[in-house]
Amino acid sequence: MMRSPLLRVAVALLALTGAGVLHWADSAVPVPAAAQAPAGGAAARETLRLAEQRVSAQAYAGGLASALAPVLAGDAAFLLEGVPIVQGRDAIERLLRAQAALQGLQASWSPFRVLLSGDGSLGVTFGETMLQRTAEPPARGRYITVWRRSAADRWEIVAQAYTGLLSAGQVVLPAAAAGSGAGGAPMPNAFTQADLAFARLAADSGAPTAFGRYIAPDGMTLASTGELNIGPATARARLAEGRAGAAAWKWHPVLAFVAASGDLGATIGEAEIRLGSGQQSETFYSKYLTVWQRQPDGSLKFVVDGGSARPRP
């Protein structure tokens, strides 16, 4: 995230170096009848994989905005480089339509993992985005998508985060989108409490310790640099490098999407990274999407964390 050890850190490090709306109930991706399942498991997970595959094919053929419009939930949240958290289907569509750099872009997704809650109500996919623009060499990015299953057995997107899709200089922020961000704090639940405890540990003991403690054994941090860090030892070591390891990290969740079964959830929030102190300090602002999964010992650890820069408040 940009709280993610790599996303948050990556944004900070890159900054230092200069470097017609369709209703989801009518148009969201349906679950194939032959694969319907009331709860988690291989068959149910396959319905999610197929749903993502279909939307990915539509994005490649007709553009990201047109592919996402039918499957965005009314309360969906969207994290794009250089803009605040944008919530609401209409606001997300306005944001996407305003991006001239998305015109002619062929984008598709290839998941690293497909996760499903035990009750089959919430799913997560995350992995690599393949990007092709006319007269340009292919490029790659990362994505995280949180899906919710409706009562009509249709998958809808409730949260999505990208890195590498657009550069900060390409992003256009419509006036309407500026006021559409999520505010306040989500309803208390085990996932937001885990996120807050994670933030407290980072504030008290430093980001390397906190990320090493809260990442799952096979958890990943997705950096805007394209770097992929897996597991506690790697995340801790990467964060301990350079100025980022000694930086002051602060974040808080503003949204959460959780499964009723309590084994899978996602938190979305805002973060700040302060490098240095006194007059020499610099503060970088970011937003994040973190996906949490209950572990065999009952604890909550994050399985993927990613984010991107946001404007100064």
Domain residue ranges in the chain: 20-178, 190-309
Which stretch of DSSP H or E encloses residue 75? strand 72-79
* 191 pLDDT more than 70: yes
> Which tens digit of pLDDT belongs to each residue from 174-189?
765 544 456 666 778 9
Looking at residue 23, its pLDDT comes to: 23
Q: Do domains 20-178 and 190-309 have the same CATH topology?
A: yes
Model confidence band, residue 137 (pLDDT cutoffs 50, 70, 90):
confident
Tell me the fold of 190-309. Nuclear Transport Factor 2; Chain: A, (3.10.450)
- Other CB atoms within a 10 A radius of the CB of residue 5 amount to 30
* 290 pLDDT more than 90: yes
Kindly give the residue spans of alpha helices, DSSP state H, lying in 1-114.
Answer: 5-16, 24-27, 42-62, 64-68, 89-97
Looking at residue 71, its pLDDT comes to: 94
Q: Which residue has the tokens 């369709």?
A: 22
Looking at residue 181, its pLDDT comes to: 58
Kind of pairing, strands 264-275 and 248-258?
Answer: antiparallel
Count of positions (residues) in the chain: 313
Kind of pairing, strands 86-87 and 228-230?
Answer: unpaired
Q: How far is CA 246 from CA 10, 19, 64, 227, 252, in A?
A: 14, 21, 38, 20, 20
Q: How far is CA 56 from CA 29, 62, 112, 267, 309, in A?
A: 12, 10, 14, 24, 25
Mean of the per-residue pLDDT values of the chain: 82
Spell out where 170-294 has E strands: 215-222, 228-230, 248-258, 264-275, 282-294
Tell me the fold of 20-178. Nuclear Transport Factor 2; Chain: A, (3.10.450)
CA proximity to 146, closest of 64, 54, 199, 79: 79
